[in-house]
Structure 1
């Protein structure tokens, strides 16, 4: 793991933190109400209904983030529409929302514990998110590959979102990419769409101290199934990290860093 010596977005004033608190209160109430109101649609239409409810909820949360905290998202590139793996840089909650809102049949590989969260966990299961038990290591990845292949034969997979670093990272931080995405690619033969972000410049990892601004989420050219497996991880890392650095530089991150060095 490597890290540039720069902090996350600095401290804001009391009013901004109050706005952050109001946002989370607003979203908490909206999640409960929208989740309960959407249950009949999910029961009637299954996964399609769950995706429709999720899309409405995500759009609402992004709207609330703009109203309360002045943060918005710009989408670049072309979001994929068919079955594929989406491998993204992950810096904060905002990039989760932006990715999920852009993809028509999104689903995630997520920690098993998240699937147990009331309301949200149930919807995550219904839209097709795949739980992972990290303690099982390679056995867990093998089970995920089997689940994906069954879906590909049946109802289709949609866009499976994976975070190759395995956790949120600070702006400018790089962690070693885990091989799970390569394992799933080899097992399924699906194309992999890299995604670069700079959202962590505006929305810190822990969610407090969000600052106004326009975050960018950029879909990059897909890496096809014919790309050599032995070079795949290096290619994926290079595409995501180089382009995330470019997006952060556009937002002034590198200039700010150079002044501090």
Structure 2
């Protein structure tokens, strides 16, 4: 009975937040067209209000740990669900995301992603996609911001294993900026698929930055170890054993 009630709460919550996305998108549209600041304010408003609604509608409290960067950096984050996107974006001044190209054609999201300066990537072309991504990022970073990339390339369920892709190291080398790893346990409560949202403490944590100049292989090993180790610790902190999944 309790699970059925939570599922119903979750369904209502999901309907509300996507309807709210459309409403905000329409309300801010003239402002977003005139200035990129309008698009940023719209997305910040959506992130803040959705985080607030998650707390009282489905019982997902949230916490951001560590020091969110305010300068131009590369952020390499653990990606478990839509919620970690909101928490990271809300915590930094001007987030721009590496995103799959198909999202550009999504109503509301696509238009605002363009205005924020997000970088679309054609994931099917691999080497060519990475080369274009580096060029697009260099052009977009004429305006400072925090570039967010998901090193595993997609959402990964808690405890599941998926390799880290070399595109993060290519960007790190090409930009010459520090890279800030981010760990998360968000998927324990807001899974990547399905309706049910579980109450609990969802955490994203900004870890110590990796300064520029680290060799590619060393960088990738350090990045994966730091993110995976801390993410597993955050999941265990809330009662989820990632090792039990294997």
TM-score over 0.5 (shorter chain) = yes
Give the one of 77, 86, 90 matched to 2:79.
Answer: 90
Is structure 2 residue 206 aligned with structure 1 residue 219?
yes
- Change in Cα spacing, 1:177 to 1:127, as seen in structure 2 (3 Å) is same
Cα deviation for residue 123 of structure 1 reads 0.5
- Change in Cα spacing, 1:144 to 1:12, as seen in structure 2 (3 Å) is farther
Give the one of 155, 164, 174 matched to 2:143.
Answer: 155
- Which residue does the alignment assign to 1:179? 166
- Residue pairs, 1:1-261, within 5 angstroms: 13-44=3-34, 46-152=35-141, 154-156=142-144, 158-254=145-241
Ranges in structure 1 where 5+ consecutive residues have no aligned partner: 1-10
User: How many residues are matched?
Assistant: 246
Task: Please state whether the residue corresponding to 1:109 is helix, strand or coil.
Answer: strand
CA distance in 2, matches of 1:229, 1:111: 24
CA distance in 2, matches of 1:129, 1:38: 18
What is the TM-score normalised by the length of structure 2? Answer: 0.94
| Contact 2:203–2:234, Cα closer than 8 Å, also in 1 | yes
Cα deviation for residue 106 of structure 1 reads 0.6
- Change in Cα spacing, 1:145 to 1:25, as seen in structure 2 (3 Å) is same
Cα deviation for residue 38 of structure 1 reads 0.4
| Contact 2:183–2:204, Cα closer than 8 Å, also in 1 | yes
CA distance in 2, matches of 1:155, 1:53: 19
Cα deviation for residue 229 of structure 1 reads 2.5
Q: How far does the alpha carbon of each residue in 1:66-93 deviate from its partner, in whole angstroms, 9 at most, with x for none?
A: 1210102101000011111110111111
Task: Please state whether the residue corresponding to 1:24 is helix, strand or coil.
Answer: helix
| Contact 1:92–1:207, Cα closer than 8 Å, also in 2 | no
Q: How far does the alpha carbon of each residue in 1:207-239 deviate from its partner, in whole angstroms, 9 at most, with x for none?
A: 422111111110001001122233110000000
What is the TM-score normalised by the length of structure 1? Answer: 0.89
- Change in Cα spacing, 1:257 to 1:237, as seen in structure 2 (3 Å) is closer
CA distance in 2, matches of 1:162, 1:72: 24
Cα deviation for residue 37 of structure 1 reads 0.6
Task: Please state whether the residue corresponding to 2:168 is helix, strand or coil.
Answer: helix
- CA RMSD in angstroms, aligned pairs only: 1.9
Q: How far does the alpha carbon of each residue in 1:150-206 deviate from its partner, in whole angstroms, 9 at most, with x for none?
A: 233x223x1111111111112112211000100111111121100010111111120
Cα deviation for residue 257 of structure 1 reads 6.4
CA distance in 1, matches of 2:165, 2:51: 29
